[in-house]
Amino acid sequence: MNICVIGTGYVGLVTGAVFADLGNDVICVDKDTSKVNTLRRGKMPIFEPGLEEMVARNVEDARLWFTTDIGDGVRKSDVIFIAVGTPSAQNGESDLSAVVETAEGIARSMDRYKVIVNKSTVPVGTGDLVRDVIEQNKLRDVEFDIVSNPEFLREGSAIADTLYPDRIVIGAPNGNVAMRVVELYAPLERPMLITDVRSAEMIKYASNAFVATKVSFINAIANICEKAGADVLQVAKGMGCDTRIGPAFLGAGLGYGGSCLGKDISCLIHTADDLGYEFKLLKAVVDINAEQPGRFVGRMREILGGLEGKTIGILGLAFKPNTDDMRDARSIQVIGMLLAEGAHVKAYDPVASENARNILPQIEYSETAYDAADGVDALAIVTEWNEFKLLNLESLKERMARPILFDGRNIYDPQRMKKLGFDYYPIGRPRNARGCNGAGPAEAAPSQLVRKSALEKAA
């Protein structure tokens, strides 16, 4: 099938490459000339494992092209995917200007029937907006249909998520239109859910909001665990065994970041407000997430006796592993607070340092994790790169001025860190917690807490 994908960000580029790999002819369109030229040279504007090889393979086989000419892409294609950015405005509302501009370009170029698919994350009702824009701007009397096909890919595993999705959601005005999109995805042999357009648009926001709720919930539980002497890893494991809950997104830490969850939640809250419903639960999710970096830095301040003049090493800058994306990364908030209190910051990330320099030019960047540990008063794990799990911790400790490590992602075992001589501070865990084979002494004895409460009530 002939496909046009408009927008070559994470969603558009991965979508185009995967459809080409499935045997379709794909034209990827972007108005950024420099980005298109970069792609034509075989270089990726983003870091995503496996993407460069997939793009190169399909360009060489003449199934994948890149252009700035939206008209050429529209005229040569039967199905057109809109995959442009929808950033969040200050009030949480999605900025749909790129979607509208794209719809206008499609309208002016349509020469026959087209299926136009919204792949961008857009608020409920955007399908109607795109239809209206095209109707008002089309130059020829041709038919078209609008479909919503939200993406659920994760940066760092975007290709796998596209090839092996949990479900494929297709929101279409009727069954005939839906089947044209089903045909595209049929080779994947994955579950497909066909809905109306508005329900498909809502599924994306509802899914991301629920994921964020799980993240904030387990972080709130971790905060209680720290005070009660419980181990949040064991708590999360016990929760995750319940089929009603599941184990995914129950990793306590510094909270969610990136370009999707925060933006989508803000948009859903704004949409609810517009419809006359105050989404108090989701607002609390946002508040809890916003508090996590401050709690992390506050613990550093407490343990180090203040931060002014201290040198802190940061391991991990990207918002998550296997990406160079710095959008809403927890490292930005953590480092900003450290600098505001007079600390000197050294940092290392396997791939995101170049992007980070544009946001945090005032810190010192290191070539390796060991270099970032040189002479520091403390190290802080901010992104859970697998590389950090495999470090020689004895060598790391030797490079540090003080063996203090704050683990914002709980990647190390507290017992092992204690044996190695570290002062180790994880999230929501006793510093000397044991695994499932034994319960280590807690920082606060829960039995004493219960006894104290019972005695107070009896009095």
Q: CA torsion, points 21, 24, 30, 36, in degrees to nearest 10?
A: 50
Please name the amino acid found at residue 83. Answer: A
Q: Is 59 exposed, middle or buried (0-12, 13-18, 19+ CB in 10 A)?
A: middle
Cα–Cα distance measured from residue 220 to residue 211, given in angstroms and rounded to the nearest whole number: 14
From 28, 260, 267, 436, the catalytic residue? 260
Please give the single-letter amino acid code of residue 116.
Answer: I
Q: How far apart are CA 97 and CA 106, in angstroms?
A: 14
The CA–CA distances, whole Å, from 68 to 27, 40, 55, 232, 325 equal 10, 11, 17, 50, 24
Helical segments of 41-125, H only: 51-60, 70-75, 97-109
Burial per residue of 267-277, b for 16 or more beta-carbon CB atoms within 10 angstroms, e otherwise: bbbbbbeeeee
Does the annotation mark 436 as catalytic? no
Strand partners, 117: 81, 147
Task: Tell me the β-bridge partners of 94.
Answer: 88
Location of structure tokens 């990793």: 251
Cβ distance 243 to 66 under 8 Å? no
Q: Is the dihedral of CA 364, 386, 47, 102 positive or negative?
A: negative
The β-bridge partners of 365 are: 347
Cα–Cα nearest to 365, from 377, 357, 374? 357
CA 144 to chain CA centroid, Å, is 33
What is the maximal distance between C-alpha atoms in the chain? 84
CA distance 238 to 11: 35
Spatial strand order of the sheet with 2-6 comes to: 64-67, 25-29, 2-6, 79-82, 114-118, 144-148, 168-171, 192-195
Which tokens sit at 125? 């009702």
Structure tokens at 458: 């009896």
Catalytic residues, which ones? 260
